[in-house]
Structure 1
Amino acid sequence: MELKGKTVLITGGASGIGLEAAKQFLANGASVIITGRSQAKLDEAKKLYPAITAIKSDVSDAGDAQNLFNQVQQLGGIDILYNNAGVLTDPVNLGIANERHFEDAAYEMNVNYLGVIRLNNLFIDMLKSRKESAIINTTSILSYVPALLEATYSASKVALQFYTKALRKHLQILHSNLKIFELLPPVVATEMTADRSDKKMTSEDLVKALIAGLKKDKFTIRVGDTKALYIMNRLFPNVAFGLVNPEKSYQVLIS
């Protein structure tokens, strides 16, 4: 896929992976629109990269999503929709029923899964009308093996992975030029993972892998440890589960 001259919309683009993606798409000759819920963060991003267009929007809010579409349409539309926005709640003991568990699961599903479908539904006709266009959905290494401490987050990413595969096939059946990419990151060093001691990939390296995959039309982009875990899970699923869920993590559940 050619990136030069394309216009890309990045959700959750004001910090972390999204902001790094904005930087690298600009470096590859693309125009960039970013969204986010924090106006302050959007303003800071605009100061760092004046060429970007920043629009405040929450992917979990239907009204915000429609307003975002209207503004993007007025700007001339997009060629690439990068669904980068995602949320992760604090660990919850699944063995104990509580209202917080349900509320956190609903929040993660609304942003990580339903929010993606909401935006895709709004933008898909625009994207299908372009000569070359793409949707990038960000799933996770946890799409293959669930984390005990992030069970509902894992579930939201599995749902998104299945949807992504089905959407890709549907468009192929319709002979559409719209390309559907799935990015599967490992643990990445962002605000979301700041309290974790796991091995972490940098946002810069993750986005470099994404850009390389897009240019090669590699529709499933497994990055870093995700590649090894994917193979391990196919051959030795119990070992893969243990790697994602070492015994020390159990102490959080029983404490």
Structure 2
Amino acid sequence: MNLKGKTILITGGASGIGLESAKQFLANGAKVIITGRNQEKLDLAKKLYPQVTAIQNDVANPDDALKLYHQIESLGGIDILYNNAGVINPPNNLAKTNDQITDLAAYEMNINYLGVIRLNNLFLKMLESRPESAIINTTSILSYVPSNGAATYSATKAALRFYTASLRNHLEIAKSNVKVFELLPPLVATDMAKGIDAKTITPEKLVKALIDSIHKNNFTIRVGDTKIVYFLSRFFPKTAYKLINPAKNNIKLSA
């Protein structure tokens, strides 16, 4: 798939993987629109990359998502929707009530999973109107093996992985021109990984692998340790579980 001249919308695009993606997509000749909830981060991203169009939006909010669609429509539409926005709750402690735990779980599910479905449904017809178009969903190494310290986050990413595979097959059967890519990162050196004592890769390396795979139409993109965990989860599941959950990192379950 050729990226030059394509217009790409990146959710969660003001920092971390999203911001690095904006940088590398621009370098490949694409036009980039980023969206996120934090206006200050969006302003900083715009200063770094003036070519970017930045829109404040909360993809977990149905009204915001619809507003975003109309804003993008007024800008001429997009060729690629990159669902990158994601959140992870800190590990729970015994002080949290059942209602608090449930609310935290719903928060993760709404952004990491339901928000993706919401945007895909809104933008699908627009994408199908383009000669060459794509949806990119960011899942996780934890979609193969869950983390004891991020139970609901792992569950949201597993749900998104199954949804992504189903969406791709559905669109192929329907002979749609929309390609569906899945990026499965290991732990990446972003703010989300702060405080986690484990090996990381840089956002630069991750996004380079993403763009290389898009060029080659490689739809399932396992990067770094995700390749190892994928193999182990199929043939040596106990070993994979211990790799993701070493004894030194055992912490109380998250929502």
Q: Name the TM-score, length of structure 2 as normaliser.
A: 0.96
Letter in 2 for 1:236: F
Report the equivalent of 2:187: 187
Report the equivalent of 2:107: 107
Report the equivalent of 1:198: 198
Letter in 2 for 1:66: L
Counterpart check, 1:127 vs 2:127: yes
Counterpart check, 1:211 vs 2:226: no
| 1:11-50 equivalence runs, <5 A | 11-50=11-50
Confirm or deny: 8 A CA contact 2:148 2:251 kept in the other structure. no
Report the equivalent of 1:229: 229
Report the equivalent of 1:139: 139
Shift of 1:100: 2.2
What secondary structure does 2:150 align onto? helix
Report the equivalent of 1:116: 116
CA distance in 1, matches of 2:142, 2:222: 12
Gaps (5+ residues) in structure 1? none
Relative to structure 1, the CA distance from residue 251 to residue 46 in structure 2 (aligned partners, 3 Å threshold; closer, same or farther) is closer
CA distance in 2, matches of 1:148, 1:195: 15
CA distance in 2, matches of 1:123, 1:250: 41
CA distance in 2, matches of 1:106, 1:97: 14
What secondary structure does 2:189 align onto? coil
Confirm or deny: 8 A CA contact 2:148 2:252 kept in the other structure. no
* Dislocated runs of 4+, deviation >6 Å: none
Deviations 1:137-177 (A, max 9, x none): 00000000010100000000011011101100110110011
Letter in 2 for 1:118: R
Shift of 1:248: 2.0
CA distance in 2, matches of 1:181, 1:72: 21
Tell me which moved more, 190-199 or 2-11. Answer: 190-199
Report the equivalent of 2:64: 64
What secondary structure does 1:54 align onto? strand
Shift of 1:97: 6.8
What secondary structure does 1:231 align onto? helix
CA distance in 2, matches of 1:61, 1:72: 16
What secondary structure does 2:175 align onto? coil
RMSD (Å) for aligned C-alpha atoms = 1.3
| 1:154-169 equivalence runs, <5 A | 154-169=154-169
Gaps (5+ residues) in structure 2? none
Name the % identity.
65
Report the equivalent of 2:53: 53
Q: Name the TM-score, length of structure 1 as normaliser.
A: 0.96
Report the equivalent of 2:242: 242
What secondary structure does 1:148 align onto? coil
Relative to structure 1, the CA distance from residue 181 to residue 100 in structure 2 (aligned partners, 3 Å threshold; closer, same or farther) is same
CA distance in 1, matches of 2:251, 2:55: 42
CA distance in 1, matches of 2:97, 2:27: 49
How many equivalent residue pairs? 252
Relative to structure 1, the CA distance from residue 98 to residue 248 in structure 2 (aligned partners, 3 Å threshold; closer, same or farther) is farther
What secondary structure does 1:196 align onto? coil
Confirm or deny: 8 A CA contact 2:149 2:251 kept in the other structure. no
